[in-house]
Amino acid sequence: MAKPTIVTVDDDESVSTAIARDLRTRYGDDYRVVRATSGAGGLDVLRRLARRGQPVALVAADERMPGMTGIQMLSQVREYAPTAKLLLLTAYADMDAAIAGINDIGLDQFLLKPWDPPQERLYPAVDELLDDWLRANPDHTSDIRVVGHRWSDRTHDIKTFLARNHIPYHWYDVEDDADEAARLLGLGGAAVADVPVVLTPEGVTLRSPSTYDLATALGLRTQAEQPVYDLAIVGAGPAGLAAAVYAASEGLSTVVIEGEAPGGQAGQSAAIENYLGFPRGLTGGDLAQRAIAQVGRFGAELVVARDVVGLERRGPVRALTLAGGGSVEARAIVVATGMSYRLLPAKGVPDLTGRGLYYGVGAGEASQCEGDVVHVVGAANSAGQAVLNLARYAKRVVVLARGTSLDDSMSRYLVERIEAAPNVEVRYRAEVLEVKGEGHVESLVIGDRDTGDREVVASSWLFVFIGATPHTDWLGGEVVRDDEGYLLTGRWLQRDEESRGWPLARAPYALETSVPGVFAAGDARHDSMKRVASAVGEGAMAVALVHRYLAAT
């Protein structure tokens, strides 16, 4: 593939020359840098590159240009370079234009001029934008290939695991891509009866693999390396990853154990727009990938595709027992297991889950619904984000809400976007009574909660967001929970004379459970806020309390 191009646009010749020079110095080995001195000139460059099929990674434009401002020029870039990152160079007085650009045209970043020294004020921002572009536009020559059936729950599980672990793959349906699927199965010595089949670039063929076998074959870490750690963290959502970053950076030997993929439920979000420091927002996958990089940088281990099924006391250490055998020992534990989706209580659900009926939807999965009618059950923020993501591809998205208003459970900025979307319909006081289909979802029985009327509607896709329950059953009876399964910590353990099972003379630390040395952070904890930012904060706070606990033992 030809080198991707970086296009710079600035009407000041000296500034144009300077930024092109600085970008070539840093990125010239991997990118072609082309400059233009007007908005019209920049668009002409993009037209020529588009005609040649040459990829454009970044367009950087000055705001104050005569004839066509930077925002006006950038607003037309994606006509010629749909995946290019947009960077605005501006003065402090033009901040309003930059914010409007974020809201109106999807501006990715803005930088204040001058950018000297570039090592501090230019390169970090451009590094981030180009890293994001490369992740979204990988070289597909070494992709994993997955052959399966569109309505197979195992195929869906494998595709989801690969996507959430940021592993590029190419998907072939045994019906829609019959010839190529048959060719690949033949190359791998497999048959249609073996699907889903995964073919690795190294020539290994995996027939309907478990996520553990898949992770092992792909070289992901599935085993802890040390016999005992200072801290073991269960769950790699925002709380668990934050705890790992702070613990490892402060010198604690740290391991994170995750049953599926880093990011938790937040990692599947198509857009997190209210997280501090990201004015344009970011996807849950982006947030997870950034956190994973930090975890690795500070030396914490990340073990994936291993479910923790029990907790034991072994003298001065705590042991986490793993599904399939084995255990991990640590002096302290942080439970950050988050939530599991609440199951839809409707007839037909067990047989069709994973076959058109799904709990949650990943940021990259919505394209599978292109041109179809999609139904979404739920009215909280996670449902709203999914609806907007699905609406980019689906012919129509129908939201089924039990209440009378989205405002009761969804942030206003999401409500406004849903109301403005021309292909989104909201049905209030509606619920799914039955899911029907032979082998996959084909129709839904929708009930009116006020009148009791029932209606059968055709649908191939049903995404469910009806709340979640804490994933804490594996902890057994020694760790005290409330009636809904949330972990009691700190002052909640001492709210009555029985002290709710707390065994020591000292008071429990703020995030400490009823087992000393076992802490809870994030959504699984009683009275937590159920927000990404609060989960990150609790993960960091838990590490401070772990230090205090370890110093006293």
The reply to whether 208 and 246 lie within a common domain is: no
The reply to whether 358 and 255 lie within a common domain is: no
The full DSSP string for 377-421 is: E--SHHHHHHHHHHHTTSSEEEEEESSS-GGGTS-HHHHHHHHH-
Q: What separation in angstroms does the CA of 545 have from each of 113, 242, 368, 552?
A: 43, 14, 45, 11
The reply to whether 13 and 126 lie within a common domain is: yes
Q: What is the CATH number of the domain that holds 434?
A: 3.50.50.60
- Asked whether residue 441 is assigned to any structural domain, the reply reads yes
pLDDT, residue 142, reads: 63
The reply to whether 308 and 358 lie within a common domain is: no
The reply to whether 275 and 319 lie within a common domain is: yes
User: How many CB atoms lie under 10 A from the CB of residue 173?
Assistant: 18
The reply to whether 107 and 127 lie within a common domain is: yes
359, 341 in Cβ contact below 8 A? Answer: yes
Three-class secondary structure of residue 479 per DSSP: coil
**Order of all β-strands in the sheet with 85-90:** 32-36, 5-9, 56-62, 85-90, 109-112
The reply to whether 433 and 494 lie within a common domain is: no
Chosen domain end from 136, 163, 190 = 136
32: which strand partners?
5
Tell me, what amino acid is at 210?
S
pLDDT, residue 94, reads: 79
Total count of residues recorded for the chain: 553
The reply to whether 441 and 334 lie within a common domain is: no
Q: Provide the residue-wise pLDDT of the chain in tens; the chain has 553 residues.
A: 578 999 999 999 999 999 999 999 999 999 999 999 999 999 999 999 998 888 999 999 999 999 999 999 999 999 999 999 999 998 877 788 888 898 889 899 999 888 889 999 899 999 999 998 988 887 665 679 999 998 999 999 999 999 888 888 999 999 989 999 999 999 899 999 999 999 998 889 999 999 999 999 999 999 999 999 999 999 999 999 999 999 999 999 999 999 998 998 888 777 788 888 888 788 888 888 899 999 999 999 999 999 999 999 999 999 999 999 999 999 999 999 999 889 999 999 999 999 999 998 875 678 889 899 999 999 999 899 999 999 999 999 999 999 999 999 999 999 999 999 999 999 999 999 999 999 999 999 999 999 999 999 999 999 999 988 999 999 988 899 999 999 999 989 876 545 567 888 899 999 999 999 999 999 999 999 988 999 999 999 999 999 999 999 8
Chosen domain end from 217, 241, 268 = 217
456: which strand partners?
445
The reply to whether 10 and 132 lie within a common domain is: yes
Tell me the chain's radius of gyration from C-alpha atoms: 26
Q: How many whole angstroms separate alpha carbon 379 and alpha carbon 383?
A: 6
- Asked whether residue 103 is assigned to any structural domain, the reply reads yes
Q: What is the CATH number of the domain that holds 119?
A: 3.40.50.2300
Chosen domain end from 450, 466, 482 = 466
- Asked whether residue 223 is assigned to any structural domain, the reply reads no
Q: How many whole angstroms separate alpha carbon 489 and alpha carbon 516?
A: 10
Q: How many whole angstroms separate alpha carbon 428 and alpha carbon 214?
A: 42
Q: How many whole angstroms separate alpha carbon 130 and alpha carbon 136?
A: 10
**If 0-12 CB within 10 Å is exposed, 13-18 middle and 19+ buried, where does residue 69 land?**
buried
- Asked whether residue 81 is assigned to any structural domain, the reply reads yes
Per the structure, the complete domain to which residue 160 belongs is given by 140-217
The full DSSP string for 48-88 is: HHHHHT--EEEEEEES--SSS-HHHHHTTGGGT-TT-EEEE
pLDDT, residue 500, reads: 62
- Asked whether residue 222 is assigned to any structural domain, the reply reads no
The reply to whether 38 and 122 lie within a common domain is: yes
The reply to whether 47 and 119 lie within a common domain is: yes
pLDDT, residue 468, reads: 87
* Dihedral of alpha carbons 19, 22, 25, 26, sign: negative
The reply to whether 323 and 240 lie within a common domain is: yes
The full DSSP string for 162-194 is: HHHTT--EEEEETTTTHHHHHHHHHHTT--GGG
Number of domains, the chain: 4
